[in-house]
Every structure is written in structure tokens, then in C-alpha cells.
């Protein structure tokens, strides 16, 4: 560990040739589940002053649009494993109210498939649709894809048309159930049972629409007792039918140990490496020429609301569940997690920040009142805006530390993204040190005509600082001390900070 009081130094080389892979824009996806106040009182609140004629809140939509989320997973999550999609289409007055067993709530079905897809399109996003493989199976899944993607002339496509939607939605990415390895899941299955039903469902869905891509459930956590055997068995059952393997992970600071908390992205890194290896093992075993990539379709910080939610009254419509209020330190962890996802751009093609509004979300709302940005909104937004292009793995030399669960944790967590179209090179960097500023020297290789566009910093003296409806305490500000001269970037990264350093360049002739 670096000595207290001594300025810490780090050096890196960013080379145009150190390519990890192209960023699939869907890595900046998110997630809306019928859970708590995500849909009702979140994206949808008829009567709210900003609501449109369909009941969608305009203020929430604006905050979502600013994130440039390209893909939104829907309708669950645990919810999907008990969901009858037919309940949520057609005249709203005829839709049933149902007991929703995953979250012990009442689902009014006011918002369903058509309303949600319409909202997602207003937000500029495609939908990543999940099918129910908990209480249901291939038959309902083939009906739903026929409803969504078949042009006309069949029972379910004509039903869609009778609801006023003439053109098929053309939904490309579909999840084959959710977290089917978890005993908490409605219709939990063994790996073999899930592998079989996912394979048979995949077959009929692709027979209806061969252009779709399918995501098979991997593990809900890296610490699940069934990981990684679950993945092996599932992939061996249906390798040729699956395009992505899904993995999920949430992190928290229950022990209030900031050094260990900031290191938890190393767990995500190890999880991605293992899941990738299992995909490749299954590829080898099935003698396939096709590569199954990863969909990290639930990731975030989730711990603040866990105890409170155990005491919630059941069977309410839109109860305030999973309403984590994020702190400055959570924003730093989200920054480290985003950097980790980017570092694996070659194999992580889809990722969904779980979730988007009110439920473990970057956006919060008050019923009848304001919508506001949580601390975590900013690193996610900046990565989404500036993290598109080609990921370059910087060669980094920096001091390391050991924490309770991790050894060799680099004080500097960083990745670079080069966008050939805009000519912009962006460096994302977290200084994990609780004590020291980090003096960074980065040498740019393979670029010329360098210019520093901006260096923004998210930092705060109070690790527990939060944003509220009335006051934003955590947001990025400009740092004016950085310099880019003769291909060398000199920047000072404050202790405990998320940094976005944007440079304009052209590749060297
Ligand atoms: O995102 C909240 C919940 O976390 C999801 O419903 C479930 O898939 C996961 O366990």
C-alpha cells in the first residue's frame, strides 16, 4: 500500500492497437420490472402534472432519455416467472388484478406489453423481453413472440392488430426466463430441467421468428452453490439454440468497509472470466463454430433497502420496494463496475443496470411530485454517452492494496474507449484511495492531433452523501488542472473519485 501522506503516482500507456473489442451499445441497457414503484408511480402515473395522454410521466422520460439507454429488459425479473402476458393486453378495463407472488404485491395490469413497448420507444430504447419459464413454457412463449413479431394472419398477430398495432414490433432480444437457478424463483428448476425447457422454448420461438437472439439463464450470483455446474449443464443441453448466457450480480457495503467495497468489481471481473470460460468449454464440447457471449442483464448496488423490505405489508399495488437511496460511495462502485463491463467488451455484449426507476434505480420519483437523479445516475450516464466505440486496455502501472476479501487491488481502476467516428478518446478512471490523490501520466500511442476536451470529476468529502428531491449533492464538476502535451496526459485524480477524461485525437498516419 502507498504510504499515507505521500503522493501516489500511476502511469499508463493507451495504444490504438491494444484493442479489447467493440462496445455493443446494449452494454448500456437497463431494466424495468413490475416491482414496487418502477412502473406504477415510476414511469406511469396518470394525473401527474408531467404525464402525457397515456399516463407516462414526461419528467421521468426526460431523465431516461438523457441516459441514452438502448435496451430495456422487461417485465422481470422474478415477476416474469408468474406472469400471464395475456393479462396485460387489450382493453384496460377488462384486465384482471392478480396476486403477484414474487414480490407479494397486487398487479393491476394497467401497463402491459403494448404500453411498455410504446414507452420504451418514446425513451429511444428497444425492449429485451423475458418469457415466463416458471409457471409456463414453450406454448405461451411462442404465443407472445407471435403477438409481438409476426406480421399478420394468425391468432396472436391478429390480436395485436385488433389492439390497433398494425406493424409487428420486431423485438430482437429475448430472455428465456429469469434466475431459474434460484429457490426463490416461482417454478425454480434444476439445471437439467431448465436446460430442457429453455431448449424447447428456444426452438419454437426461433421457428416463429428466426431473426431473434436468445438469452439463457446462467447463475443468479457467483456464490450460488450450483455455479458453475448450472451453466455447464444448461449450455450442454441447448448450446446451438442460445446466443447469450445471462449472469447477475449485486454488491453492497453491509460491513461499512470502503476499501473492500470498492474492490468488489474484482468479483464481477472474476465472474465474467469464469462464465466466459464455461461458454467456451461448452462450445468445445459441442464441437460448435458459434460463440455464446454474455448478457450481464442484472448488475448494480443493492443493499440499503434489504432490511426494510422484510417488514413491508403484502398485497399492495406499487408498494415502495427496493428503494435504495444511493450514496457517493455507491456511485464510485457503480463506476468500477461499468469499467469492468467495458474491459470485457469482447464477450459482454448486453448488460442491464438493474433497475431504472425507483427500484434500485438511478432515477427516483415522488408521487405527484418531482423526479430526480441519484448519485449513481452520473457514472452510468457518462459511460453511456462517452463509452461507445472500441475498448482499449490501458497498460497500467500503479500501487495496489489488500482488503478483507481481495488482494492486489489496484488503486487505479481504468479503461479507455476510442470512438473512430467522433475522433474522441475517453478515459474512465476511479481512484480507490481513501487517502491520496493520484498523479496520473498517460502516454498516448498511435494517435496524433491530441486535444483535451474536458476532465470531469465526481467526488465528495462525505462518502455517505446522497441526492434528494430538493438537493443534488453529488454530481460531476469540471477539473481544469489536467494537461495534454505531446501525447502525454497529466491528470490529478482526487482521492475517492470517478473521472471522465475526454480527448480529441486522430489516429497517427
Ligand atoms: O432486480 C431485482 C431482482 O433481483 C430481480 O427481480 C431478480 O431477477 C433478482 O433477484
The ligand 1 atom at the shortest distance from the C-alpha of residue 102 is: 6
Query: How far away, in angstroms, is 436 Cα from ligand 1 center?
Result: 37
pLDDT by residue for the chain (509 residues), tens digit each?
444 455 799 999 999 999 999 999 999 999 999 999 999 999 999 999 999 999 999 999 999 999 999 999 999 999 999 999 999 999 999 999 999 999 999 999 999 999 999 999 999 999 999 999 999 999 999 999 999 999 999 999 999 999 999 999 999 999 999 999 999 999 999 999 999 999 999 999 999 999 999 999 999 999 999 999 999 999 999 999 999 999 999 999 999 999 999 999 999 999 999 999 999 999 999 999 999 999 999 999 999 999 999 999 999 999 999 999 999 999 999 999 999 999 999 999 999 999 999 999 999 999 999 999 999 999 999 999 999 999 999 999 999 999 999 999 999 999 999 999 999 999 999 999 999 999 999 999 999 889 999 999 999 999 999 999 999 999 999 999 999 998 999 999 999 999 999 999 888 77
What CATH number does residue 191 fall under? 3.20.20.80
Angle, helices 377-386 vs 58-67, to 10°: value is 50
Query: How far away, in angstroms, is 323 Cα from ligand 1 center?
Result: 13
Q: Are 417 and 466 in contact (CB under 8 A)?
A: no
Residue 215 has a pLDDT of 98
Indicate the top mutation candidate among 105, 179, 223 to test ligand 1's pocket, ranked by most ligand atoms within 8 A of CB: 179
Residue 373, in any domain of the structure: yes
Domain count, the chain: 2
What CATH number does residue 472 fall under? 2.60.40.1180
Residue 3 has a pLDDT of 44
Residue 1, in any domain of the structure: no
Domain end (from 328, 355, 386): 386
431 and 311 within one domain: no
Residue 5 has a pLDDT of 53
414 and 294 within one domain: no
Indicate the top mutation candidate among 30, 32, 33 to test ligand 1's pocket, ranked by most ligand atoms within 8 A of CB: 33
Residue 507 has a pLDDT of 80
Query: How far away, in angstroms, is 339 Cα from ligand 1 center?
Result: 22
406 and 372 within one domain: no
Alpha-helix residue ranges (DSSP H) falling in 123-254:
138-149, 155-162, 191-208, 229-238
Enzyme catalytic residues: 179, 298
Residue 466, in any domain of the structure: yes
The residues near 7 (Cβ < 8 Å, ≥ 6 apart) are 436, 437, 439
Residue 357 has a pLDDT of 98
322 and 372 within one domain: yes
404 and 301 within one domain: no
88 and 40 within one domain: yes
Bond into 355 cis (ω within 30): yes
The residues near 425 (Cβ < 8 Å, ≥ 6 apart) are 14, 392, 416, 417, 418, 419, 444, 447, 502, 503, 504, 505
Domain end (from 368, 386, 404): 386
The ligand 1 atom at the shortest distance from the C-alpha of residue 354 is: 1
417 and 283 within one domain: no
Q: What are phi and psi of 236, to 5 degrees?
A: -65, -30
The ligand 1 atom at the shortest distance from the C-alpha of residue 220 is: 10
Strand ranges (E), 302-421: 348-354, 363-365, 371-373, 390-392, 395-397, 400-401, 409-410, 412-419
Residue 76, in any domain of the structure: yes
Residue 2, in any domain of the structure: no
Residue 332 sits in which domain range? 24-386
Residue 458, in any domain of the structure: yes
Residue 6 has a pLDDT of 57
Shortest-distance Cα residue to atom 1 of ligand 1: 354
DSSP code of residue 96: P
The ligand 1 atom at the shortest distance from the C-alpha of residue 178 is: 8
341 and 291 within one domain: yes
410 and 265 within one domain: no
Find the angle CA(375)-CA(251)-CA(258) to the nearest 5 degrees: 70
User: Would you say the pTM of this structure is higher than 0.95?
Assistant: yes
345 and 422 within one domain: no
Residue 45, in any domain of the structure: yes
Residue 144, in any domain of the structure: yes
Q: Are 40 and 56 in contact (CB under 8 A)?
A: no
Residue 7 has a pLDDT of 75
334 and 199 within one domain: yes
Domain end (from 364, 386, 408): 386
Ligand 1 contacts (CB < 6 A) are 33, 76-78, 178-179, 220, 298, 354-355
> Which grid coordinates are listed for 485?
502535451
395 and 299 within one domain: no
Amino acid at each position: 500500500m502507498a504510504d499515507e501522506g505521500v503522493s501516489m503516482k500511476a502511469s499508463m500507456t493507451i495504444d490504438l492497437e491494444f484493442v479489447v473489442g467493440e462496445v455493443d451499445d446494449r452494454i448500456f441497457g437497463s431494466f424495468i420490472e413490475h416491482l414496487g414503484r418502477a412502473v406504477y408511480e415510476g414511469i406511469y402515473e396518470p394525473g401527474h402534472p408531467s404525464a402525457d395522454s397515456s399516463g407516462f410521466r414526461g419528467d421521468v422520460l426526460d431523465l431516461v432519455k438523457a441516459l441514452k439507454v438502448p435496451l430495456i429488459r422487461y417485465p422481470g425479473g422474478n415477476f416474469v416467472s408468474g406472469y400471464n402476458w395475456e393479462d396485460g393486453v387489450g382493453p384496460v378495463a377488462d384486465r384482471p388484478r392478480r396476486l403477484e407472488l414474487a414480490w407479494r404485491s397486487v398487479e393491476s395490469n394497467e401497463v402491459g406489453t403494448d404500453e411498455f413497448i410504446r414507452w420504451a420507444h418514446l425513451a429511444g430504447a428497444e425492449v429485451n423481453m423475458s418469457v415466463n419459464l416458471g409457471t409456463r413454457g414453450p406454448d405461451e412463449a411462442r404465443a407472445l413472440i407471435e403477438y409481438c413479431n409476426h406480421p399478420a394472419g394468425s391468432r396472436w398477430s391478429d390480436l395485436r392488430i385488433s389492439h390497433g398495432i398494425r406493424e409487428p414490433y420486431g423485438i430482437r432480444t429475448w430472455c428465456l426466463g429469469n434466475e431459474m437457478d434460484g429457490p426463490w424463483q416461482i417454478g425454480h428448476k434444476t439445471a437439467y430441467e431448465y436446460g430442457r425447457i429453455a431448449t424447447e422454448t428456444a426452438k419454437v420461438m426461433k421457428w416463429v421468428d428466426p431473426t431473434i437472439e436468445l438469452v439463457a439463464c446462467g447463475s443468479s450470483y457467483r456464490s450460488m452453490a450450483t455455479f458453475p455446474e448450472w451453466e455447464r449443464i444448461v449450455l450442454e443441453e441447448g448450446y446451438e439454440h442460445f446466443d447469450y448466457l445471462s449472469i447477475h450480480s449485486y454488491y453492497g457495503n453491509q460491513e461499512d468497509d470502503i476499501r473492500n467495497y470498492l474492490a468488489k468489481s474484482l468479483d464481477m471481473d472474476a465472474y465474467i472470466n469464469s462464465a466466459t470460460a464455461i461458454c467456451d468449454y461448452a462450445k468445445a464440447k459441442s464441437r460448435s463454430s458459434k460463440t455464446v457471449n454474455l448478457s450481464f442483464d442484472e448488475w448494480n448496488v443493492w443493499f440499503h433497502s434489504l432490511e426494510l423490505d422484510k417488514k413491508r405489508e403484502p398485497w399492495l399495488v406499487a408498494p415502495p420496494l427496493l428503494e435504495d437511496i444511493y450514496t457517493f460511495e455507491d456511485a464510485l462502485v457503480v463506476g468500477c463496475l461499468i469499467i469492468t463491463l467495458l474491459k470485457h467488451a469482447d464477450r459482454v455484449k448486453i448488460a442491464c443496470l438493474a433497475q431504472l426507476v425507483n427500484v434500485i434505480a438511478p432515477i427516483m420519483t415522488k408521487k405527484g411530485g418531482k423526479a430526480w437523479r441519484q448519485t449513481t445516475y452520473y457514472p452510468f450516464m457518462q459511460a453511456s454517452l462517452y463509452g461507445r466505440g472500441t475498448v482499449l486496455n490501458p497498460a497500467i502501472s500503479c500501487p495496489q492494496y489488500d482488503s478483507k476479501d481481495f488482494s492486489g487491488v489496484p488503486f487505479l481502476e481504468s479503461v479507455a474507449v476510442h470512438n473512430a467516428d467522433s475522433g474522441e478518446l475517453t478515459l474512465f478512471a476511479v481512484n480507490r484511495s481513501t487517502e491520496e490523490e493520484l498523479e496520473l501520466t498517460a502516454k498516448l500511442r498511435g494517435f496524433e492531433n491530441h486535444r483535451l476536451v474536458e476532465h470531469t470529476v465526481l467526488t465528495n468529502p462525505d462518502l455517505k452523501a446522497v441526492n434528494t428531491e430538493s438537493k443534488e449533492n453529488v454530481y460531476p464538476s469540471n477539473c481544469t488542472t489536467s494537461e495534454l502535451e505531446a501525447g502525454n496526459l497529466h491528470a490529478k485524480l482526487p482521492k475517492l473519485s470517478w473521472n471522465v477524461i475526454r480527448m480529441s485525437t486522430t489516429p497517427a498516419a
